Amino acid sequence: MKNEGKSAQRPDNTAFTQQRLPAWQPILSAGIVIPGFLIIGLAFIGIGIGLFLTSQTIQVQEMDYTGVEKDSPCFRCTIPSNLNCTCEVTFSLSTLFTGPVFFYYGLSNYYQNFRRYGVSKDYNQLTGDTRYFKSRSPEEDCSPYSYDSNNNPIVPCGAIANSIFNDTFELYQIINGTKKQVPLDGRGISWWTDYNIKYRNPSPVNGSLAKAFDGTVKPINWPRPAYELDLTDPNNNGFLNQDFLVWMRRAALPQFRKLYRRITDGDYAAGLPAGNYSLTVHYNYPVLSFDGRKKVVFSNVSWMGGKNNFLGLAYLVVGSLCVVMSVVMLVVYAKFKFSDDDDA
């Protein structure tokens, strides 16, 4: 139909059009696979041992203080009517707990990852944008924790903020019967990006943060408004309160711990020396209604984070499997190979 010379239709003879592109074609031949498996297996076993040993060096001190059992020190605080209850948990360390020591509180059976719970916050509010204090963009996100019964806007709104963990702890070392308070460092326990980028306090009005919160009410469960979260440190208030930031970062799993404080200062910079300790718990947070548990955890960290034997074990298991497989294949292969030779 078109007359563009004799061979107008001739296809291009290129490697691409003729599907002759060079390509690497790995073939799973026994000669590669068996040694490959063996090498991978051995490497994994090595890594596994390393990880396991590292994990073993990490010290952990865990204490459940929920008070389910009658003889537990915090049992009396579990009665809902008992407000501002304080209880004392004691423990002793036989060796030096090397520092820096991280002080966590842990909750279990607590679903911070519940979907409706998870969406129940307003990021715009939390960046300190006062426009969103009273009228908020995704209205339904925070509800029913948007307004209180008098229809005053709640700031910070939403279920996450409302349910902030509010037990507080004081740690004492008991030296010869006297309590020596262990200084707890609450600075920098949240993510740097949270503190510096994601969260912002509203600009103070006339130098007062409280004024910025005018016209709003505190979340229902909170004892004090956001600008009075930390009475000791005026800079640790509002949305930039470290405990608030830690809480707002939702845990992935129903059993989790969150960083409460670090022990880095003073006499305890090198760690907690062996001895007896007493932990005073201001018991506020109810967990028994959903069968939850509360605990405190002291731990130090290595390069790979907290104590976790699992990863090392996983490497060991996978490595061993690889080795076993290579052996099995070798045996089967040899058998087949020889039987083939017999045939031939």
Of residues 184 through 213, those in contact with other proteins by CB under 8 A are: 191, 193, 197-198
Three-state secondary-structure class, residue 322: helix
Which of 174, 311 has the CB closer to other proteins?
311
Query: What letter would DSSP give residue 96?
Result: -
Minimum CB separation of residue 52 from other proteins in Å reads 12
Q: Is 171 helix (H, G, I), strand (E, B) or coil?
A: strand
Q: Is 290 in the site for other proteins (CB under 8 A)?
A: yes
| Angle in degrees, CA 119, 230, 143, rounded to 5 | 20
The rounded distance, in Å, linking the Cα atoms of 106 and 62 is 9
User: Residue 207 and residue 237: Cα distance in Å, rounded?
Assistant: 14
- Window of 106-114, 174-182, 262-270, 274-282 that interacts with other proteins by CB under 8 A: 106-114
CA–CA separation, 335 and 328 (whole Å): 11
Interface with other proteins includes 9 (CB under 8 A)? yes
Q: Which stretch binds other proteins (CB under 8 A): 67-75, 90-98, 103-111, 269-277?
A: 103-111
Which residue among 58, 318, 320, 327 contacts other proteins (CB under 8 A)? 318
Torsion angles phi and psi, residue 30, rounded to 5:
-60, -35
Q: Determine if 75 is a binding residue for other proteins (CB under 8 A).
A: no
The nearer residue to other proteins, 120 or 241, going by C-beta atoms, is: 120
Looking at the DSSP assignment, which residues form a beta bridge with residue 258? 105
Q: Does position 117 bind other proteins by CB under 8 A?
A: yes
51 is a contact residue toward other proteins (CB under 8 A): yes
| Strands laid side by side in the 293-299 sheet | 60-64, 293-299, 101-108, 256-263
Which of 123, 121, 147 lies closest to 134 in space, CA to CA?
147
Q: According to the binding rule CB under 8 A, does residue 27 interact with other proteins?
A: yes
Site residues (CB under 8 A) for other proteins, limited to 233-272? 249-259
Residue 286 engages other proteins in binding (rule: CB under 8 A):
yes
- Closer Cβ to other proteins, 101 or 278, answer by number: 101
Structure tokens at 332: 């089967």
Q: State the number of binding residues for other proteins (CB under 8 A).
A: 95
Select the span of 66-74, 85-93, 120-128, 234-242 touching other proteins (CB under 8 A). Answer: 120-128
Closer residue to other proteins in complex, CB, 6/70: 6
Query: What is the C-alpha to C-alpha distance for residues 317 and 44, in angstroms, rounded to an integer?
Result: 8
- Three-state SS for 256-312 is EEEEEEEECCHHHCCEECCEEEEEEEEECCCCHHHCCEEEEEEECCECCECCCHHHH
Q: Determine, following the binding rule CB under 8 A, whether residue 116 of this chain makes contact with other proteins.
A: yes
Identity of the residue, 108 or 168, whose beta carbon is nearer to other proteins in the bound complex = 108
342 near other proteins, rule: CB under 8 A:
no
- Return the residue of 66, 97, 101, 112 that touches other proteins, per CB under 8 A: 112
- Which of 140, 233, 265, 267 binds other proteins (CB under 8 A)? It is 140
Question: What residue has token string 């960046």?
Answer: 127
Q: In the set 106, 186, 225, 271, which binds other proteins (CB under 8 A)?
A: 106
